[in-house]
């Protein structure tokens, strides 16, 4: 898709076709890729941060995600949007990360104890009263609590929907699940959030 | 949120507010984390650690090499001893065989000489031969 643009332009002008050098051919996708990084890096980082609750790890995996994407950028055919493609890479990296961590105990402790406090502290003040802010903080803490208890797949689907605000079809593409399964995961996750808010974990 | 495909649970106003607050919280946290100043730490290298590492490495290599050499030499020594033992055994066997051959030869010579008797005493010599043969047979049978 990206390569045809330049050749079509030269043919349309009616001038003799100039052969494109290898360097020039690589430059076009490279420019495309840098704009993709600029556009999507904050979203990928945010998703990984919410999912892993570890700033350093999220940064590392974001870098890895774009490195992987850069290596395979030529083979990206545009069947899905770049964001969905990148999200898929990020989800796989995150899966690999959890799989590689053998110490289940450490993983559970870390996810539920240390970073949960840090994650819940962030709330934009806006124009709210102190009471509203306190209420909001409490709600955020409750949602984090539930997110921490969700299975890996449910958490991924939940975050893609309510943090990244993706459509069900995009989530299905990124996770490799069917839309029905995505709906079922979301419904269960929402049920847990509601139960937590009503004080029935 | 302008999704085309809403879930029925998403219309609950309280849940909606909670999820909106959650998103705002994640956004703020993520933005802050991305903008935080990063300090690059230069890795501290201790000279003594480097020296100790080299020394340990050299010691390990020296031990391995000397151990291998000792083992090789030891094996060669053992092989040499085994070869010497085998050759000594072979020599002893050969010596024993040659002694037996010499004794047989002497016995044959003796018998030949003893046979060289005058024609008149030939029947007596034959009788002696027969006796000798019987004696030999008895000896071998008892052994």
ipTM of the complex: 0.75
Q: For A42, which of B3, B28, B34 is closest by C-beta distance?
A: B34
Q: Would you place residue A12 in the very low, low, confident or very high pLDDT band (cuts 50, 70, 90)?
A: very low
Does residue A7 register a pLDDT over 80? no
Question: What architecture is domain A25-100?
Answer: Orthogonal Bundle (1.10)
Q: What is the CATH number of domain A124-201?
A: 1.10.10.10
| Segment A71-107, tens digit of pLDDT | 888 877 777 888 898 999 999 998 888 877 655 555 5
| Segment A106-115, tens digit of pLDDT | 555 455 444 5
CA B78 – CA B84 distance, rounded (Å): 10
Contact A123 B21 (CB under 8 A): yes
> Considering only residues 59 to 78 of chain B, which have any Cβ-Cβ distance to chain A shorter than 8 Å?
none
DSSP state of A126: T
Mean pLDDT of the region A171-197: 91
Mean pLDDT of the region A156-173: 92
Structure tokens at B113: 């000489």
Residue intervals in chain A for CATH 1.10.10.10: 124-201
Set of chain B residues whose Cβ sits within 8 Å of the Cβ of A142: 18
Contact A127, B8 (CB under 8 A): no
| Predicted local confidence at residue A56, as pLDDT | 87
Set of chain A residues whose Cβ sits within 8 Å of the Cβ of B15: 190, 193-194, 197
Set of chain B residues whose Cβ sits within 8 Å of the Cβ of A118: 29
Contact A122 B14 (CB under 8 A): no
Low-confidence stretches of chain B (pLDDT beneath 70): 1-5, 43, 114-118, 139-143
| Predicted local confidence at residue A24, as pLDDT | 44
| Segment B87-107, tens digit of pLDDT | 999 999 998 888 888 888 888
Contact A197 B14 (CB under 8 A): yes
Residue intervals in chain A for CATH 1.10.1740.10: 25-100
Mean pLDDT of the region A5-20: 38
| Predicted local confidence at residue A178, as pLDDT | 93
Burial of A73 (0-12, 13-18, 19+ CB in 10 A): middle
- Looking at per-residue confidence, does B70 or A140 come out higher? B70
CA A108 – CA A127 distance, rounded (Å): 36
| Predicted local confidence at residue A113, as pLDDT | 42
Q: How many CA atoms lie within 13 A of A9 on its CB side?
A: 8
Q: For B25, which of A122, A167, A186 is closest by C-beta distance?
A: A122
Chain centre distance of CA B43: 45
- pTM for the complete prediction? 0.57
Best residue of A116, A123, A179 to probe chain B, by most B CBs closer than 10 Å: A123
| Predicted local confidence at residue A46, as pLDDT | 94
């Amino acid at each position: 898709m990206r390569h045809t643009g330049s050749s079509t332009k030269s043919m349309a002008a009616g001038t003799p076709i100039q052969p494109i050098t290898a360097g020039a051919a690589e430059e076009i996708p490279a420019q495309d890729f840098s704009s993709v990084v600029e556009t999507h890096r904050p979203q990928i980082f945010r998703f990984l941060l919410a999912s892993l609750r570890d700033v350093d790890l999220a940064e590392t995996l974001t870098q890895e995600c774009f490195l992987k994407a850069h290596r395979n950028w030529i083979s990206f055919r545009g069947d899905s949007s770049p964001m969905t493609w990148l999200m898929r890479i990020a989800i796989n990296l995150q899966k690999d990360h959890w799989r590689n961590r053998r110490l289940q105990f450490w993983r559970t402790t870390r996810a539920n104890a240390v970073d949960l406090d840090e994650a819940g502290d962030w709330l934009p003040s806006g124009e709210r009263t102190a009471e509203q802010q306190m209420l909001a903080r409490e709600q955020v803490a409750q949602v984090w609590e539930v997110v921490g208890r969700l299975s890996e797949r449910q958490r991924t689907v939940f975050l893609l929907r309510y943090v990244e605000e993706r459509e069900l079809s995009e989530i299905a593409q990124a996770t490799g699940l069917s839309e029905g399964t995505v709906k079922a995961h979301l419904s269960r996750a929402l049920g847990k959030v509601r139960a937590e808010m009503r004080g029935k974990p | 949120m302008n999704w085309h495909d809403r879930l029925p649970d998403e219309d609950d106003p309280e849940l909606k507010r909670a999820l909106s607050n959650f998103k705002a919280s994640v956004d703020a946290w993520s933005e802050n984390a991305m903008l935080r100043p990063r300090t690059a730490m230069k890795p501290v290298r201790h000279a003594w650690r480097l020296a100790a590492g080299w020394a340990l490495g050299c010691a390990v290599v020296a031990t391995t090499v000397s151990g291998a050499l000792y083992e090789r030499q030891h094996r060669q020594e053992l092989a040499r001893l085994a070869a010497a033992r085998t050759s000594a055994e072979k020599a002893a066997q050969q010596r024993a065989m040659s002694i037996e051959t010499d004794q047989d030869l002497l016995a044959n010579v003796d018998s030949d000489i003893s046979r060289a008797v005058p024609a008149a005493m030939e029947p007596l010599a034959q009788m002696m031969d027969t006796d000798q043969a019987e004696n030999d047979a008895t000896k071998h049978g008892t052994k």
